Chains A and B, each alone.
Chain A
Amino acid sequence: DADVTQTPRNRITKTGKRIMLECSQTKGHDRMYWYRQDPGLGLRLIYYSFDVKDINKGEISDGYSVSRQAQAKFSLSLESAIPNQTALYFCATTSSGTGEQFFGPGTRLTVL
């Protein structure tokens, strides 16, 4: 089984809808991250969490919110989706003290 899983893998929605993307990890890591990937822009950090009680904004947090339900679960929500939030979204985890981040398979989100 994959160490970092994301659901759904693909989602098409309409402008104004609320969307939740979910991430789970079995690696036992304390740190979790949400990124979005856009062509020509690389990956940009949306939110990150060092533990259940520690949530931090990344460089592009506007229009997004997150919830760290447990050490292993980190959800990303779009309260009112807009077309320019169409992108590939990745969850990642790492343990404190190391540099390597482990990425999930991604969620492709299309907002019409």
Chain B
Amino acid sequence: QQQVKQSPQSLIVQKGGISIINCAYENTAFDYFPWYQQFPGKGPALLIAIRPDVSEKKEGRFTISFNKSAKQFSLHIMDSQPGDSATYFCAASMETSGSRLTFGEGTQLTVNP
């Protein structure tokens, strides 16, 4: 059973547009929600993360929006660039599990020039 569900599976955006990827989780004990970015041939790398005590976190062009009551969180990429083309994974973990991450299925983002 997938505890973190991610959509869409793939996304095509024009340069300068906004990319939005959504995730929903089931376990209310999750207390850490990171997004990882993966380029072809590379391992995933942490992009941005949020804890449930805030509803939004912004780092440059990347923003996480978090809705605790709906058990959903999303990644917004503003002014999307071709260099943002990658696979994005949302994930969740809980302090008591020792940083074990449960990942979503992944979204392949393509930003056309």
Contacts and interface: CB of A to CB of B under 8 A. Distances in A.
Interface of A: 4, 31, 33, 35, 40-45, 48, 50, 58, 90, 92, 94, 96, 98-106
Given A40-B106, A106-B41, 18 more contacts: A31-B98, A35-B103, A42-B4, A42-B6, A42-B89, A42-B103, A42-B105, A45-B100, A50-B98, A90-B44, A92-B43, A99-B32, A99-B49, A99-B93, A100-B34, A101-B99, A103-B45, A106-B43
B103 A100 contact: no
B61 interface: no
Range for the number of chain B residues in contact with chain A: 20 to 34
B39 to A, nearest CB: 11
B99 A98 contact: yes
A98 B46 CA distance: 12
B101 interface: yes
Candidate in A44, A50, A100 with the most chain B CB atoms within 10 angstroms: A100
Interface of B: 4, 6, 9, 32, 34, 41-46, 49, 89, 93, 98-106
Which 5 A-B residue pairs are closest in the complex by CB-CB distance?
A: A103-B43, A42-B103, A43-B103, A42-B105, A99-B32
A99 B34 contact: yes
A90 to B, nearest CB: 5
A4 B99 contact: no
A92 B43 CA distance: 9
